[in-house]
Homo-oligomer: A and B are copies of this chain.
Amino acid sequence: MDLGKVQRAAVLLFASRGFAATGIRELGAAAGINSATIYHYTGSKEDLLVSIMRSCLEAMIESGSAALRTSAEPTIQLAALVAAHVGFTATNPLTSRVVEYEMRALGPENCHAMQSRRDEYESLFAQVVERGLRVGDFSSDDATMARLALMEMGTGVAHWYRPDGRLTLTEVQHNFVNMACKILSADRALLDGAGYIRQPALLASEPTPNSTSLPA
């Protein structure tokens, strides 16, 4: 009836125990169904993970691509991309974590498929940084390291951001945009008046406080 329910239960458990340490029976219990019923929604435990990863990565690519379409100005693109990345990660922290951590749980075929989507996403950052450097809006000792640091930083949001925490999502996004500009020596003045922040999507796989309950 509801693949989302199973995905949310899976993400909740995969994020806290890890894919390999989560049993099909635990998944069933967390989703409120018999473990055998899970096979009505998915072909295998790995397929379930893949379906979660695929929709997450595709949403990330979509969100990042949309960010780049916001403007032709590298600095605004950077801001939009960082804001989107942070927004997405903060909105879907558990799913993001599963995508980040569990690539290694996949078989070679699935692993390759997911890795190429992740590469596609990372290339968005590479494009922006490269263009900004080329037109002289950014400067950096090492473009690759700057890009990796940028992404890693943003991904780290999944480890600590809480919707009901000290900072609003918008504040967090602005702070990260600022840090990104500092790292690339970009001129923040170019961002004045540019509406580069979009509402991030909530994935069907992301557990919300009341959507599932952890078993004892």
Contact = CB atoms under 8 A, between A and B. Distances in A.
Interface of A: 16-21, 101, 104-105, 141-142, 144-146, 148-149, 151-153, 155-156, 159-160, 166-167, 171-172, 174-176, 178-179, 182-183, 185
B16 A18 contact: no
A142 B165 CA distance: 14
A166 B148 CA distance: 15
Interface of A is mostly: helix
Most B CB atoms within 10 A — which of A19, A160, A183? A183
15 contacts: A16-B104, A17-B104, A18-B19, A18-B104, A20-B20, A141-B175, A141-B178, A142-B167, A142-B171, A145-B172, A148-B156, A152-B156, A153-B153, A182-B182, A182-B185
Number of copies: 4
A171 B176 CA distance: 25
Nearest to A172: B145
A175 B17 contact: no
Given A149-B153, A152-B153, A153-B152, A175 B18 contact: no
B152 A105 contact: no
Contacts of A146: 179
Given A101-B101, A167-B142, A149 B21 contact: no
A166 B182 CA distance: 24
A172 B142 CA distance: 9
Nearest to A18: B20
A176 B166 CA distance: 28
A148 B155 CA distance: 11
Contacts of A18: 18-20, 104-105
Contacts of A183: 179, 182-183
